Structure 1
């Protein structure tokens, strides 16, 4: 089997877009100041970098530019405009949804669209709700060499039906995934996954690598706990691949990432529904 590249695997383990989604949502709901969200986004997506908004699927007749060099403020302004008419409520689509993809898991977006392909390529994106249920905005951020690029797509049509998980179900999926991977590793005689390294240290290493600013104030405790659990499972994968067994454990531990991605998306969704309850 082919193995994920280190950079892509790192993004699958701990996506900075998760934290960006919550900070942006909190700002759109008026729960944090603009300066706070700018600092958080800069910390998450490479501090001090230039920002660029790209419209890869923009038609030539659109008035706006296909490329715009800007700052975080302009990104926020665009997000505010996109969600201005979106209804808010427990039963409504959250203003900002986290959309993740990886091996064996397609993003919850209309298939065969530029937005879906971009999220599949990068592994993570943001789905912004609007006033029209048949039109959505998808933003896919990526940082490289001092430049943060925000690919901005407009998706037409209904979103595909997805299986909705509660926090408890997402937690159970994580537990089952860990148990199954442990059993498979043991049965295959791969050896002790992790090499004796404490997964909590791997969590710290991942946090240091991404410079994550943490979560905005007031994130519901249950959502925070689910994301922490996802971090721990992601750390198990990181520890396994850094241990003496290395990539030989991939067939057993990489499927854990599906449960991790599901948990992160559920937590972001739950957190926003709680703040409008």
Structure 2
């Protein structure tokens, strides 16, 4: 079992930086610098550069406190993003909750990120998000269950005496280039826990190298995925409240 895209995706932080820019809380150059750290040069399919990508985002969503107007969707085991779409992540952009959505699909190509924007019907299972408290509780429980199952088997992490050092190294990767300024505290804490859980999961997978614990690890992976989507949705709503 190893599904890195729903354990971590740069689309999470891209969504958070774009939300801030759409709401006028970031200058253009700061948004461009952050996105470059998250995916290299960003372009549209016709080759237009980052400023035009950001304009597309602004054109396809309207900040609101009533619904997540710019949200993140991550596929999980048994849940493809869309039947016709082979992508590890997407951002869902809306002008209103009842109308059609625009999917912004990032595709990495030779160190650059190419964006595709298209109108699409989004399945219901990709429109529902947990509240941060519920997502945090789900993640805590998944980590505890996995830790207890692994400990019961007396497994070691590849002979590593201090696995926390490896976890810390991986967290440095997940946290680059950091979150936007003034992100809501509940979302920041939830993302920090998801990063920690992701690092633990990667450490266990690389240390054990077998499939005995797939059910427990799958549970953590799904909880991480839900937590990341919940954090981005919550940020959109809170920003929409201030924007209005």
Give the shorter-chain TM-score range.
Answer: 0.7 to 0.9
* Equivalence for 1:72: 50
2:25 to 22, 31, 36: 31
Look up the SS of the partner of 1:212 in the other structure: coil
| C-alpha separation in 1, matches of 2:154 and 2:17 | 40
Task: Summarize the Cα distance change of 1:216–1:74 in structure 2 as closer, same or farther, 3 Å threshold.
Answer: same
Per-residue Cα deviation, 1:6-62 (whole angstroms, up to 9, x for no partner): xxx44332211110000000000001111111111111012xx3x443xxxxxxxxx
The alignment status of 1:235 with 2:235, answered yes or no, reads no
Look up the SS of the partner of 1:247 in the other structure: coil
2:65 to 79, 90, 93: 90
The alignment status of 1:102 with 2:76, answered yes or no, reads yes
| C-alpha separation in 1, matches of 2:144 and 2:166 | 21
* Equivalence for 1:58: none
Cα offset for 1:167?
1.3
Task: Summarize the Cα distance change of 1:166–1:146 in structure 2 as closer, same or farther, 3 Å threshold.
Answer: closer
* Equivalence for 2:8: 14
2:185 to 205, 221, 239: 221
Task: Summarize the Cα distance change of 1:233–1:211 in structure 2 as closer, same or farther, 3 Å threshold.
Answer: closer
Which structure is richer in relative contact order (CA contacts within 8 A, separation 6 or more)? Answer: 2
Q: Which runs of 5+ in 1 are unaligned?
A: 54-66
| C-alpha separation in 1, matches of 2:49 and 2:37 | 14
Look up the SS of the partner of 2:46 in the other structure: strand
* Equivalence for 1:40: 34
| C-alpha separation in 2, matches of 1:29 and 1:79 | 11
Cα offset for 1:164?
4.1
2:99 to 128, 134, 148: 134
Q: Which runs of 5+ in 2 are unaligned?
A: none
Is the 1:38–1:72 Cα contact (8 Å) retained in structure 2?
A: yes
Is the 1:52–1:69 Cα contact (8 Å) retained in structure 2?
A: yes
Counting matched residue pairs gives: 238
Task: Summarize the Cα distance change of 1:133–1:31 in structure 2 as closer, same or farther, 3 Å threshold.
Answer: same
TM-score (norm: length of structure 2)? 0.86
User: Which 10-residue stretch deviates more, 172-181 or 147-156?
Assistant: 147-156
Cα offset for 1:104?
3.6
State the Cα RMSD in Å. 2.5
The alignment status of 1:247 with 2:210, answered yes or no, reads yes
Task: Summarize the Cα distance change of 1:163–1:11 in structure 2 as closer, same or farther, 3 Å threshold.
Answer: closer
| C-alpha separation in 1, matches of 2:144 and 2:200 | 12
Is the 1:200–1:232 Cα contact (8 Å) retained in structure 2?
A: no
Cα offset for 1:181?
1.3
TM-score (norm: length of structure 1)? 0.76
